Structure 1
Amino acid sequence: MVQRAGHSVAVVGMGVLILLLAGCGGSGVAQSQLSVIPRVVAEPALANRLTSNLDRWVAETVAEPDVVSATLLFDMPREQLHYAGAQGLANPQTGEALTSAYPFRVASISKIFTATVVLQLVEEGYFSLDTPLSRLLDNTLLPPGYTLDDLHVINGVKSGGRITVRQLLQHTAGLRDYLADTPTVQDGNGLFAQMLSEVVSNSGRGLASRQWDGRALLAHYLSTGLGRNALAAPGRQFEYSDTHYLLLGLVVERATGQSLTSQYRARIFNRLGMAHTWHESFETGRGAIAHHFYTLSAGNYLDITATPLSMSGAWASGALVSTGDDLLRFFRALMQGELFRERATLQQMRQASAASPNYGLGLQRAVVNGREVWGHAGFWGTLMLYDPAKDAYLVMSVNQANRDMYKEATGVLTATQNAGF
């Protein structure tokens, strides 16, 4: 196997490991695209320092042995300053360079989009935040022999029908994660691990290449016993779970009578002119997807984009593809209240609780370098943040699964602070 910078890269396809001729390190990478557009040049020295510092962050990140590419957007509307940078390879097999306009899988950043649609429906009177599932869904969505109450069982007590929209949005419903958990342990060996194993062992046949929808995912959740071992009573504590957003996707479809995909498109994508964003596996793609990688073992990385792994399994919780520009367009509109009728809705979205101190209604809260920020990280090495105090937006991707993206954000925001912003 070709070795480079102390690591190797494997592409899995048709059950055969194919060696990447281009390594994952930063040396010898394709051209980068880096630019700062200072629309107000009152202090050009600040813009120059910002350019230099963020250029350095992108280059140093791509130089790391497990990173193939990186995209970074930093935007300060108040200062009328915008930085867009990208470096590395969008496709190591062809040598195609990444640009800041290249689409990538955003993973759990998708949850903000799902939450936005749900909150729009709340404003329109379809249901309230405290409406229970018993009034929104019914047993016809479930496999034979199951009821809504079977969604949540703890110590023999069934509570599925009492779970509320608010609890789902805030991850306080106590449900196990259908993508990550096994029935009795939060061990990362759930559906996604099974799909990944099939990609490596049998060319992705079976679960890995299956076209999932909301009902099929819910049937998987129940039939595997995940519902029989809830993590906590509804409303009691924060437990991050893709199952919460799976149920929200079903709520959207049942309330509107239309697909979740159509709701994303009509309410957000088309409304904002997000021409390079789509719901992967559920509508036609709008461009090539930047390759991203998953660590199989030390120094051995699986090129996920080159495999038959279906993203439909992440349906309402993580199946969107977008670009940095489109994500920035969306997040600016959201944080400015343009997607809601009432300003109070955005305030609720950014309101944590005793049970969930660092997660509002679809938005993660974090303190980075002493600054409170709101946004969301994604499994494929993605992050989107807003700093209210600075009116600053950050969108980034390193296209490597399981990265600590808040650590990456710390580096970026340190670079901006050192530049004087």
Structure 2
Amino acid sequence: MINPIANWWRSQQFKLAVIRGDTRKSLQILHDIQKSGARFSWLEKLFRDRIKFERLYQEYKDNNKNLKEKQESKANLGLIPNKQFIDFVCKEFNLVKHDQYKLQCTGIQKHIFEDLEVNLVEYINDEFSRFSQQKLMIKIEDAIDDIDGLKKGKDPDYRFSLTPHVYFMKYFLDNVYCVYLAWFLIYQDGLINNKINILDIAAGPGTVAYSLALLLQSISEFTPLPQTHISYYSLEKQDSFQYRGLQFWRKYIESQTKPINTYYRFVTTDILNWQQKPSNLPENFFDFIVISHCFFSDPDVRLQAHNTYKQIFETGLNEEGYVLLIIQDKKLFKIYNLKLREDQEQEKNTVIKFVSELGLKLVWYQYLTSRDSRNPCSAVKFAQFAEHNLPKQVYMTPLLQKYFGQKYQSSYTLDDYVILAKK
């Protein structure tokens, strides 16, 4: 039952508290009036509404401050694109943008890649010196037969002891060359931070990490880099690839004057058995998830792998993270029984379809190519073009000629789609 006298007394006490500016006491009495069931007076309603407004305003200020701090923190972490460096790369790599999506590259940053190539050749020679010539040739032939399945559209097993070394000799330099440019395009957009978490799916020997390390090394020659830290997760079926990749990393990258601070974590598992043996990857952690050249030719295997990729994207990528996909031009179109040709509309639709099947949304893509045309050309014609126009693998070529019987000089070449996407 409402007591009028008690209510009147509380209201008088409330007025006195308000006059004295005792907000705490005023709130306590207002709470007692509300509990009693009495109606608020106009002064009590006015005070209640003022308190509500002040709380909402303070909440707005706090949220605004937190958002601003978050934006400033992100800005401080970002590597601001350096125009002088960007112009230098465009010149050194002879980058020519033929249309919105096709980017031709016929150059290279010579001293960076030459240093990598020299050190890689030294590493391989040291590894080969542990075998007799007869035993070495047998092991190399086994690895070549396995890895050469790629040319026939067959997915290799990568199971032989020297398969990583054959990969280093035949594909590593070209792939680092390609992924270096992919990171450069991402850097150009201001999307690389000095603290970056990367998941490399089907990582092999860590091509993605090497490429980023070389890019950061190149940038540091033009502008001081803030303290940089890379958390690099290698998800790879073959532990021999991971081991050889880390072994060469310690010999080459960590021997630099200013090596990149990188935390390596190896997750050795088969993505095709992901459901049976789920991995303990961190959730909502990665700024970039990269899949470079691991898209299967067999339709059933490809579907199985894509389902795993979608699951990893969904759980592992942070809310502002990106997925970087790199796939060879002919392989992309072969998936959809199409021919690569000078048709931008077909190309764009194919890329969008490919990205959508992975549960992703396209941000941008570039066709990185050594030639000025999408139309295929004969091996003889391309060899003539490469001889006169493309940067040479001067130090690796003698090894390829010695152990593979190669007759020509190897060049750095590109024929890949670099695709950036989001969840």
Please state which band the TM-score falls in when normalised by the shorter chain: under 0.3
| Structure possessing the higher relative contact order (Cα contacts under 8 Å, 6 or more residues apart) | 1
TM-score normalised by L of structure 2: 0.23
Higher helix share: 2
Structure ID, larger Rg: 2
TM-score normalised by L of structure 1: 0.23
Higher strand share: 1
